Amino acid sequence: MRAPLGEFDLIARYFTHAAPRAVLGVGDDCALLDIPAGETLAVSTDMLIEGRHFLPTVDPDALGHKALAVNLSDLAAMGALPLAFTLALALPDADPAWLEPFSAGLLRLASAHAIELVGGDTNRGPRNLCVTVMGTVPRGQALRRAGACVGDDLWVSGTPGDARLALGAMLEEWHIDAPALRTLRPRLERPTPRIALGLALRGMATSAIDISDGLLGDLAHVLRASGVGARVEADAVPASPTLAAQPRERRRQCQLAGGDDYELLFTAPPSMRTDVARAAARAATRVTRIGVIDTSQSLLVVDADGHDVASGFSSFQHFGAP
Amino acid sequence: MRAPLGEFDLIARYFTHAAPRAVLGVGDDCALLDIPAGETLAVSTDMLIEGRHFLPTVDPDALGHKALAVNLSDLAAMGALPLAFTLALALPDADPAWLEPFSAGLLRLASAHAIELVGGDTNRGPRNLCVTVMGTVPRGQALRRAGACVGDDLWVSGTPGDARLALGAMLEEWHIDAPALRTLRPRLERPTPRIALGLALRGMATSAIDISDGLLGDLAHVLRASGVGARVEADAVPASPTLAAQPRERRRQCQLAGGDDYELLFTAPPSMRTDVARAAARAATRVTRIGVIDTSQSLLVVDADGHDVASGFSSFQHFGAP
Q: Where are the domains of chain B?
A: 7-138, 153-302
Q: What is the largest CA-CA distance in chain A?
A: 65
Q: Scanning every residue of chain A, which has its alpha carbon at the shortest distance from the alpha carbon of B42?
A: A32
pLDDT value at residue A145: 92
- Give the separation between CA B135 and CA B185, rounded to whole angstroms: 28
Q: Which residues does A8 contact at the CB level (< 8 Å), separation at least 6?
A: A122
A30, B52: Cβ pair inside 8 Å?
A: no
**pLDDT at position A6 over 80:** no
pLDDT value of residue B214: 93
The confidence score (pLDDT) of residue A318 equals: 31
Q: Tell me if A46 and B88 make a contact (CB, 8 A cut-off).
A: yes
Confidence check: pLDDT of A307 > 90: no
Using DSSP bridges, classify how beta strands A229-233 and B264-268 pair: parallel, antiparallel or unpaired. unpaired
State residue B318's pLDDT score: 31
CA distance B107 to B128: 18
| Segment A196-206 mean pLDDT | 96
Question: Which of B45, B89, B91, B128 to mutate against chain A (most A CBs within 10 Å)?
Answer: B45
Q: Verify whether the Cβ–Cβ distance B44 to A24 is below 8 Å.
A: no
- Which pLDDT score, from 0 to 100, does residue B305 have? 87
CATH of domain A153-302: 3.90.650.10
Q: Which residues of A touch B124 (CB under 8 A)?
A: 49, 52
The beta-carbon neighbor of B121 closest among A23, A47, A120 is A47
A86 with B29: Cβ contact below 8 A: no
Q: Which CATH number fits domain B7-138: 3.40.50.2000, 3.30.1330.10, 3.10.129.10, 3.40.50.300?
A: 3.30.1330.10
Q: In sequence order, what are the residues at sequence separation of 6 or more whose Cβ sits closer than 8 angstroms to the Cβ of residue A20?
A: A116
Residues of B in contact with A56 (CB under 8 A): none
Inter-chain contact A78–B28, Cβ cutoff 8 Å? yes
pLDDT of residue A10: 57
This prediction has a pTM of 0.89
Q: For residue A144, give the chain B residue with the closest CA.
A: B28
- Tell whether the model's pLDDT for residue A177 goes beyond 80: yes
For residue B7, the chain A residue with the least C-alpha distance is A318
d(CA A104, CA A90): 17
Q: Which chain A residue is nearest to residue B34, measuring alpha carbons? A: A40
A34/B37 Cβ within 8 A: no
Collapsing DSSP to helix, strand or coil, B218 comes out as helix
Confidence at residue B18, expressed as pLDDT on a 0 to 100 scale: 65
Chain A residues in contact with B146 by the CB 8 A cut-off are 28
Q: In B, which residues are within 8 Å of A52 by CB distance?
A: 123-125
Q: Which of A74, A86, A139 sits opposite B132 (nearest CB)?
A: A86
How confident is the model at residue A107, as a pLDDT?
Answer: 93
B281 contact partners, CB below 8 Å, separation of at least 6: none
Which candidate from B34, B52, B130 shows the least CB-CB separation from A40? Answer: B34
Nearest to A46 among B42, B121, B209 (CB): B121
Look at residue B261 in the predicted model and tell me its pLDDT: 92
pLDDT exceeds cutoff 90 at A322: no
ipTM: 0.85
- How is chain B split among helix, strand and coil, in percent rounded to 5? 35, 25, 40
Q: Which of A21-35, A215-229, B50-64 has the lowest mean pLDDT?
A: A21-35
- Check A35 against B41: CB less than 8 A apart: yes
The minimum CA-CA distance between A35 and chain B, rounded to whole Å, is 7
Using the beta-carbon criterion (under 8 Å), do B52 and A78 form an inter-chain contact? no
In tens, the pLDDT along B55-102 reads 888 999 999 999 999 999 999 999 999 999 999 999 988 888 999 999
- What pLDDT, on a 0 to 100 scale, did the predictor assign at position B37? 87
- For chain A, the C-alpha Rg in angstroms (whole number) is 20
How many CB pairs lie under 8 A apart between chains A and B?
Answer: 193
The shortest CB-CB distance from B130 to any of A77, A88, A225 is to A88
Label residue A320 by pLDDT band (50, 70, 90): very low
**Residue A149, Cα to own-chain centre: how many angstroms?**
24
**Strands (DSSP E) found in B214-286:** 229-233, 264-268
CA distance A242 to chain B (A): 30
Q: Which residues of chain B have pLDDT under 70?
A: 1-12, 17-22, 25, 311-322
Closest CA to B68 of B21, B119, B132: B132
d(CA B224, CA B299) in angstroms, rounded, equals: 10
**CA B293 to mean position of chain CA atoms:** 23
Torsion sign across C-alpha atoms A47, A53, A55, A61: negative
- Identify the three-state secondary structure at position A89: strand
